[in-house]
Amino acid sequence: MKISCIQMNMILGKADDNFAHAEELVRETVSGEHPDVVVLPETWNTGFFPKDLAPCADRDGERTKAVFSALAKELNVNIVCGSVANRRAEGFFNTAYVFDRCGEVAAEYDKTHLFTPSGEHEAFQCGWHTCRFELDGRKCGLIICYDIRFPELTRTMTLEGVDLLFVVAQWPEKRTMHLETLARARAIENQMFLALCNSVGSAGETRCGGHSAVIDPFGEYLARAGDGEETITGEADFSMIEPIRSSINVFRDRRPELYKIR
The reply to whether 111 belongs to the active site is yes
Catalytic pick from 5, 140, 145, 208?
145
The reply to whether 145 belongs to the active site is yes
Parallel, antiparallel or unpaired: strands 164-168 and 193-197: parallel
In angstroms, what CA-CA distances link 236 with 131, 141, 146, 164, 262?
20, 15, 24, 9, 34
The reply to whether 42 belongs to the active site is yes
Q: Which of 84, 117, 120, 116 is nearest to 99 (CA)?
A: 84
Helices (H), the chain: 15-33, 62-75, 120-123, 151-159, 176-190, 241-247
Catalytic pick from 56, 81, 108, 111?
111
Cβ neighbour number for residue 235 with a 10 Å cutoff: 14
In angstroms, what CA-CA distances link 18 with 13, 178, 196, 258?
9, 27, 20, 48
Catalytic pick from 5, 42, 108, 180?
42
- Enzyme catalytic residues: 42, 111, 145
